Amino acid sequence: MPVIQLLLDQIGWRPSLAVLALVNLALGMTLNLAAIDRGTDAPAPSTPSMTGRTAVGWALRRPAFWGLMVAFTV
């Protein structure tokens, strides 16, 4: 918070947002590239590839779908 306030006082709110976005991007990308190995961390597909009505029907039968729908709506 003190760094953000210092940025706001020195350069204004728009450049401060740009600086914070660049820091977030640089830090996030660096950590992502360093920590995630696509070969070993990729999840195994739990269901076959579905499209259209098959996918909708499958989702409607899952309690997680309804829980997420309620959570997003609330």
Spell out the per-residue pLDDT of the chain, length 74, in tens.
899 999 999 999 999 999 999 999 999 999 988 988 877 877 777 766 778 888 889 899 999 999 999 999 99
CB neighbours of residue 36 within 10 Å: 10
Contact 20, 1 (CB under 8 A): no
Round to whole Å and give the CA distance between 29 and 68. Answer: 28
- Write out the two tokens for 62: 């899952």
Three-class secondary structure of residue 61 per DSSP:
coil
- Write out the two tokens for 22: 């660049």
Q: What are the domain boundaries of the chain?
A: 1-36
pTM score, whole prediction = 0.51
- Write out the two tokens for 7: 């940025």
